[in-house]
A and B are shown apart, each in its own frame.
Chain A
Amino acid sequence: MTLERTTGRPARSSAAFREAGALGWARRHRAALAAAVILVFPLIAPFKALAVLILVYGLYALGFNLLFGYLGVLSFGHSALFGAGAYLCGIAFVHFGAPWWAAIIVGAVSGMIVAAIIGALAIRTRGIYFAMVTLALSQCVYYLFYEAVGWTGGENGLRGVDVKTIDLFGLHLDFVDPLTRYYVLAAFVIASLFVLSRILASPFGAVIEAVRENEARARASGYNVPLVRFVAFVLSGGFCGLAGALLALHLSIVPIETLHYDTSGLVVMMSLLGGMGTFFGPFIGAAIFLMLENLVSLWTVHWQLIVGAAFVICVLFFPRGLWGTLLERLEK
């Protein structure tokens, strides 16, 4: 394993961390700041249910961004990781009577397992093939879950992921209350933020970015590039699987749409709208996307037209996304 051969952080990352001024301070404490935003958010959000969705899809986008933004690999099959997390969490809860926290762990782990299978096949191809292969394999996962009606409920989705109350350290929490639910799920998301921030600040995080910036040089420096890709894909699967599990608990049903191609496309849009390769950008992208969807669908059923156009404009004129463009302005 060549990953351990890193000696110290490459210049780019350490410079970013030693940066002076307000921006440097914000960057060092990015996970804590993001956590603060998440804690305050439901108090200002108009609809609590929407806030929970933003939380879940934000985590999904963060996991995707690890791959797309930091490693520079575009996957169009992330619905398989998200959906597998949701379904396996639901199956553990409904069919095996697992407690809610164990079901969440099962979801995150199954996201990683599915990512390992898809990743092992997809990293055999390089560059642009990756998007096509991941899309095709996620389609395969979709059909497998669709056909396994006994376990998954097929077309109707998996029903009965009902968590009513949560007993934790003597606390008795009402999970039906939207605000309580938000904060219970937020605990998982905030923990993920700290883990993700730690991964990105680690030597491995620097190697990920090195592969994105110059694959040939990374390989020449002795890093095992396919292994880096594989590990990043599996880690991404863990975050996305966790997000799926949280969605299952929130909706108390796992709709088959979680595995659909559109769910893969959704996270691509969210990440790009917010700003790929920035720490909190994907989360903001998820918030913008979901609020836009909610607002636009108030006056037209054809919200996809508006969202699609916004995405195309973003690709053409703001490739760094809204948050990324904002950060760029601040740095100047």
Chain B
Amino acid sequence: MNGLSLDLLGLQLFTGVALGALYILMAVGLSLIFGMLTVVNFAHGAFYMLGAYVGLWLMMHGANFWIALVVAPLAVAGVGLAVERVLIRPLYGRGIDYPLLLTFGLSYIIVELVRVAFGNTGYPVDTPEALQGAVDIGVGYFPLYRLFVIAATAVILAALWFFLEKTSFGLIIRAGARDPQIVRVLGVDVSRVWLIVFGLGTGIAALAGLLSAPLQGVIPEMGGPILAEAFVVVVVGGMGSLAGAAVAGLLVGIVVSMTSLFAPEMSRVAIFALMAIVLLIRPQGFFGRAGLMS
């Protein structure tokens, strides 16, 4: 363990938190959509990628990063609304696998359309000027942009929490996740709620994609691995739980960054090992209710 200082560990911890922030954003969207619509959105990775590409397109056409950060998620959320309304809605009540299969097919179409528009090769994305460089966070210098990703995720989570717990629309969403039939009987247009939740989830995925762009660049296939990793986060945290997504996202991010410090060749396997352990000990995940998915 030569040269391994506490500072290095601390920095790696922060790197893990920044990585975990992206996982959290993905898992929150997946979890929300599943909790409400009982749809496992296999196109979530594709929406993540689409968010990054829409942002890239905007920046190519003169918009700055901040405008792209607002417009791209909104645009992708619009796509998400259309997808729910036109493609997913006819499949409700036809078995839980069909919406899943549909979004799976859709992810092929979205990825291929992006390849048509932007080509097969990826693009690097510059870190916005205001966020370049590093700051001293006590244990050493840490890239400012990663701190920004952490902060942005915290803001989104806080806003989501406020929206779900403190507004009347959030109350409807929570009630709809429990028992959509009763909510419908009470005179709420549940299908409209589902539409909005799907748009919200895809918008957050797009935001995550664009946030990841300056860290990893963009390629059409970028949504694949993160989809599998977001599934791990959802399984570990418990489906349908905001707190579960947050805790599990952080945990998975930290596990990845720590194993890449100690055993780099195992870093990509580690999170799946973590999932296997959680499945053995607590199959419903940290915050999941047992029997919810039966």
Whether A associates with B in a native complex is yes
| Cβ-defined partner of B293 (8 Å) among A128, A272, A309 | A128
A304 & B106 in contact (Cβ 8 Å cutoff): no
A178 beta carbon closer than 8 Å to chain B = no
Contacts between the two chains (Cβ within 8 Å), count:
119
A239 beta carbon closer than 8 Å to chain B = no
Query: Known contacts being A128-B34, A140-B272, A319-B94, is A265 close to B232, with CB within 8 Å?
Result: no
List CB contacts (< 8 Å) of A269-314 with chain B. 269, 272, 302, 304-305, 307-309, 311-312
A136 & B235 in contact (Cβ 8 Å cutoff): yes
In the complex, what residues of A have CB within 8 A of residue B235's CB? 125, 129, 132-133, 136
- How far is it, in angstroms, between the C-alpha of A121 and the C-alpha of B276 when the chains are bound? 7
- Per DSSP, are chain A's interface residues mostly helix, strand or loop, or mixed? helix
A136 & B228 in contact (Cβ 8 Å cutoff): yes
| Cβ-defined partner of B105 (8 Å) among A125, A131, A302, A308 | A308
Rounded to whole Å, the gap between the CB of B134 and the closest CB of chain A is: 30
Query: Known contacts being A139-B228, A311-B105, is A125 close to B279, with CB within 8 Å?
Result: yes
- How far is it, in angstroms, between the C-alpha of A261 and the C-alpha of B279 when the chains are bound? 21
- How far is it, in angstroms, between the C-alpha of A124 and the C-alpha of B83 when the chains are bound? 32
List CB contacts (< 8 Å) of A13-66 with chain B. none
Task: Report which residue of B96, B224, B231 has the largest number of chain A beta carbons within 10 angstroms of its beta carbon.
Answer: B231
In the complex, what residues of B have CB within 8 A of residue A308's CB? 105-109, 112
A305 & B112 in contact (Cβ 8 Å cutoff): yes
- How far is it, in angstroms, between the C-alpha of A21 and the C-alpha of B100 when the chains are bound? 38
Query: Known contacts being A140-B273, A319-B98, is A312 close to B293, with CB within 8 Å?
Result: no
B279 & A127 in contact (Cβ 8 Å cutoff): no
B283 beta carbon closer than 8 Å to chain A = yes
Residues of B within 8 A of A (CB): 34, 38, 40, 42, 87, 90-91, 94, 96-98, 100-102, 104-109, 111-113, 115-116, 224-225, 227-229, 231-232, 234-235, 239, 265-266, 268-269, 272-273, 275-276, 279-280, 283-284, 291, 293-294
A-B contact list, 11 entries, CB within 8 Å: A74-B97, A121-B279, A135-B228, A136-B235, A136-B272, A140-B269, A140-B272, A140-B273, A265-B108, A312-B105, A315-B91
A-B pairs, 5 with minimum CB distance: A308-B108, A140-B272, A311-B105, A132-B231, A305-B112
